[in-house]
Structure 1
Amino acid sequence: MRTHPWREALRVCLVKSGLSSKLGLGQQGPIDAVYASLDRHVAQQHLNKLDAIYAYEDGAATTFQAAKQRGIRCFYELPIAFHRTSRQIQQDEADRFPEFASSLQAISEPKWKLERKDQEVALADHIFVPSTTTRQSLLDAGIASERISVVPYGAPIDYFKPQPKRDKKFRALFVGRVGPRKGVHYLLEAWKKLRLNDSELKLVGIDEFPLGWLRSHQDYINYQTSVPHASLNQYYCSANIFVFPSLVEGFGLVQLEAMACGIPVITTPNAAGLDLITEGVDGFIVPIRDSNTLQEKLAWCHQHPKELAKMGLAARKKAEAFTWIAYQQKLTDKIKKLLPLVD
């Protein structure tokens, strides 16, 4: 293993210090420069004596070009819906809520970056995606189905485990980037209408809404900014239900983390709900942008604590089937089939 951490370390420092936004580099800092630099370095230094290269979205174009010249097979991982689908969904949301346009990253990505994404997909011999929804976004873009394999990500079942809930308050939890792409505003709308007694909506993550928007809803939510990943277990286990109403996603690993802690999930088809959830058994799948159905499911969860507890047991069992070992084995088996026999 060879690491090249300094550019990423600098980016993280800029983001954590708040300098990134002040310098006009955005909430994620110069992330495109980090990917491009690593891509160039791999293309120049690390392609000797290889049969295949496996690269990630936004960090593959230069490497794949160099690999093709050497007859090296190119495998590509697309972790989220293809940019054409993602851009359309987020543009539709910006049309609905113009005040959120600045928070919807896909609609403002530069032309060169979109062309680079297209180039990566075109050069890839095979594309690995984590969900059927991401697969469909590629099919919609005209990519042949035989070039795509769905390999769902794994659940960290060894260090995310069920723990006793310490209070009796009904608690709905969201973990992730707290912003419009994740559909959080629809969750807030549903929760505000519910007016449940002795209940709490907990949001954990970086606030990506326009400045001050989330603060205007503080009367009926409990917001916690980003916390260390190692501490999330206690947040999951403090909840009765995990809610992830994302508009566009690839998989949403936080859902499997919650399920590993024995917490059922309310999610959307666009967040890999169809791959993860058995409706009414370990969670619920609701349409995107549907605050009314979110409200109905949350009300049911509040009114059926015993049934919800059983769903939590089923959620843990489901998470145990989505292990990282299973992911590695499925990915390895598929790559072995795709590679030509080597003496």
Structure 2
Amino acid sequence: MSVLTAPTEWSARARHGSDGGGPHPGGGGVLAVLYSFPFALGAPGIGFTAWNQANELVRAGVDVHIVVASVEKPIEGAASVRTTLTVRGRRVPHRAIGRDRAMRIHDAVTARLVGRLLDGSADDVVHAWPLASARTLRAARRRGIPGVREVPNTHTAHAYEVVAREYAALGLEPPRGGSHTGDARRLATEESEYAAAVGLLVPSEAVAGSFLDRGFENDRLLRHRYGCTVTAPPARGDGGRPFTAVFLGRGSPRKGLHTALQAWTASRAAAGGRFLVYGLLDDDYAAFLAPLLAHPSVEVRGVTPEPMSVLAAADVLLLPTVEEGSALVTYEAQVAGCVPLVSTAAGAVIDEGVTGLTHRVGDLDALTEQLDLLAARPEMLARMSRAAMARADELSWAAAIQATLAAYREAARLMGRSSHAAA
């Protein structure tokens, strides 16, 4: 056996060592979840999302068995933690052995652990992430355990299509090897995972719609959502500054920065306001955007280590994305009192017209009108900002995990129905 296929276990406690008070999906015991994530838990990006999910499951009283490639940020209180891509305590980068091989190793190891960590009771769930879960989900199904698969973005075929279309419209080439650039092998992998899962965890209606359009049953699309870290937000300090819009994210056609810039420069807000652009810009895209970025009201600020401070110092967030799962920045903006003006593809959890405004993907006129409206009506902007901050607790990771637990219960029901049908 390769050293990489032997999982490293560096903390553990007994499965039923808790007080039995945790939530349960289908039985009367403590819910046990095998949580599989094939990257570094706690790393920026999806690693941060996965860490918050697993951490809140533990805090909710769930017995969480974490199986990850490596750990960047530990979680206290997990039932067990195993790493699949570490040797003698040191992380083995995916690139060192090839991403595809790394994913296969993680999936194979996790599949073998299903029967060791879970006993197949009515209170077991497998929660797996993309690209390394088909074997794991099939192993769960064989043992009668509901397996759910995280869907952090739209159906992969849909994502490939809409992102390619946006690049083509701008006369640009999608980056070779990019996570949203067409890849038949990756699509086949993900489609096998969709099929192996009892249910798919979809964080927004935009994501659900992309699966419904491809013939998936609505029952299998388990609605849950993401969240954000809620602490005392930085002081907003609105007095005396001009109307301020902000873009915060990867500067690529997928995120729609070109639409944001076009709407901003066409709006009356640009005359006395400012548009701050934060994030790493792709080189060819930056060259394409150069005339718009040169507008005197636009400032390119680069990557920020303090996103909440940036949002607290702005009036509106512009995110006219063309494809997304459920952008975490839309949660953070509301907590900071920054009103989201986002496309319907952003997957934002907002109360339309109360805590934010949405527009159809690519609807430049609608976004321009929204900017004009809020720049001209400071009392409306202030009211929406206050309403957004007032729902901070609803947007927390702790609140989000309740939706995930409800999705587990629905997966258990689906598993019971499918088992009955098979019998």
Normalising to structure 2: TM-score of the pair? 0.69
Q: Which residue of 2 aligns with 1:199?
A: 273
Structure-2 separation of matches of 1:241 and 1:32: 40
List per-residue Cα deviations over 1:111-132 (Å, max 9, x = no partner).
1110011000000011111111
Q: Which residue of 1 aligns with 2:70?
A: 5
Mapping of residues 275-286 of structure 1, within 5 Å: 276-286=349-359
* C-alpha spacing 1:155/1:53, structure 2 compared with 1 (3 Å): same
Deviation at 1:206, TM superposition (A): 1.8
Structure 2: gaps of 5 or more residues: 1-65, 72-84, 417-423
Structure-2 separation of matches of 1:103 and 1:192: 31
Return 232-241 or 70-79, whichever deviates more. Answer: 70-79
Structure-1 separation of matches of 2:323 and 2:226: 17
The residue type paired with residue 109 of structure 2 is H
Q: Which residue of 1 aligns with 2:395?
A: 322
Structure-2 separation of matches of 1:187 and 1:96: 16
Normalising to structure 1: TM-score of the pair? 0.83
Structure 1: gaps of 5 or more residues: 15-24
List per-residue Cα deviations over 1:38-65 (Å, max 9, x = no partner).
3333224454142331101223123223
Deviation at 1:88, TM superposition (A): 2.1
- Which of residues 260, 270, 276 is equivalent to 2:345? 270
Q: Which residue of 2 aligns with 1:84?
A: 157
List per-residue Cα deviations over 1:98-150 (Å, max 9, x = no partner).
22533894663321110011000000011111111111111111111111111
- Which of residues 36, 41, 56 is equivalent to 2:109? 41
Structure-2 separation of matches of 1:104 and 1:300: 41
Question: What is the DSSP-based 3-state SS (H/G/I as helix, E as strand, rest coil) of the residue aligned with 1:141?
Answer: coil
* C-alpha spacing 1:177/1:299, structure 2 compared with 1 (3 Å): same
Mapping of residues 169-208 of structure 1, within 5 Å: 169-194=242-267, 196-208=270-282
Q: Which residue of 1 aligns with 2:322?
A: 247
- Which of residues 222, 226, 232 is equivalent to 2:299? 222
Figure out how many residues of one structure are paired with residues of the other and give that number. 323
Moved over 6 A (4+): 6-10
Structure-2 separation of matches of 1:49 and 1:323: 29
CA contact (8 A) 1:102 1:210 kept: no
Once superposed, what is the RMSD of the aligned Cα atoms? 3.0
Question: What is the DSSP-based 3-state SS (H/G/I as helix, E as strand, rest coil) of the residue aligned with 1:67?
Answer: helix
The residue type paired with residue 239 of structure 1 is A
CA contact (8 A) 2:323 2:346 kept: yes
In our comparison, the structure showing a higher alpha carbon Rg is 2
* C-alpha spacing 1:193/1:114, structure 2 compared with 1 (3 Å): same
* C-alpha spacing 1:253/1:303, structure 2 compared with 1 (3 Å): same
Question: What is the DSSP-based 3-state SS (H/G/I as helix, E as strand, rest coil) of the residue aligned with 1:191?
Answer: helix
Deviation at 1:71, TM superposition (A): 4.0
Pair 1:64-2:132 in alignment: no
Structure-2 separation of matches of 1:227 and 1:90: 26
Give the percent of matched residue pairs that are identical in Structure 1 and Structure 2. Answer: 23
* C-alpha spacing 1:45/1:334, structure 2 compared with 1 (3 Å): closer
Q: Which is strand-richer, 1 or 2? A: 2
